Amino acid sequence: MSRPSPAPGTPTPPSTTAPARTAFTLRGEVACPASLTVADLRERWEQHRAEVVFDCATSGPRHHTFEGPLLREVVDDAKPVFDARRRKDRSRFLLAVTGGDGHHTVLSWAEIDADFGNVPILLATAMDGRSLESAGSQLVVPTDRCGARYISAITSVWVGALA
């Protein structure tokens, strides 16, 4: 049953619906899949800072400061199903990150693993001092010269092995 519309000039009562929480799923070959918000990322993991400059193909160099946890630490807590003691087992795992606009990228576990590339890739919770709470977390690859792997409004992080 629908409610009648209020008469013109009548104030609208405040919504009783909670605002939507922008979350992404962490799934795949992990023992503990999760749904995580920017607030979760900020509260549960140490925040790291990255000052980056990347070339944007359409507007030239972009300078930003990002804060957030390391992707490696967040995924580690989801317990990927590889044998952590075996480097070759870890090195066959991939991470696929998808954004709200459908943009996606693939990373190798070896890029973020301390025994291999040790790249400090972030799941940003803030950009230039502003919270990403309403926009959603952003993937930040501070070693990249171009920003193509910077995924905005992350919707999914999939972890899995290359067969």
Q: Delineate the domains of the chain, giving CATH numbers in brackets.
A: 23-161 (3.90.420.10)
pLDDT tens per residue across span 126-137: 999 999 999 999
- Lowest-confidence segment of 5-14, 15-24, 68-77, 113-122 by average pLDDT: 5-14
How crowded is residue 159: how many other Cβ atoms within 10 Å of its Cβ? 22
Average pLDDT over residues 141-163: 93
**Residue 59: its pLDDT value, please?**
81
Instruction: Place 74 in a pLDDT band, splitting at 50, 70 and 90.
Output: very high
Averaged pLDDT score across all residues of the chain: 88
Residues whose CB is less than 8 angstroms from the CB of residue 45 and which lie 6 or more positions away in sequence, other chains included: 69, 70, 73, 74, 77
**Residue 135: its pLDDT value, please?**
95
The span from the first CA to the last CA of the chain, in angstroms, equals: 53
pLDDT tens per residue across span 30-59: 999 999 999 999 999 999 999 999 887 788
Instruction: Place 157 in a pLDDT band, splitting at 50, 70 and 90.
Output: very high
pLDDT tens per residue across span 8-30: 443 333 333 334 458 999 999 99
Dihedral angle at the C-alpha atoms of 144, 149, 155, 159, nearest 10 degrees?
-80
Strand-pair category, 23-28 with 34-37: antiparallel
- Lowest-confidence segment of 76-80, 144-148, 154-158 by average pLDDT: 144-148
Share of the chain above pLDDT 90, in %: 73
Average pLDDT over residues 58-81: 95
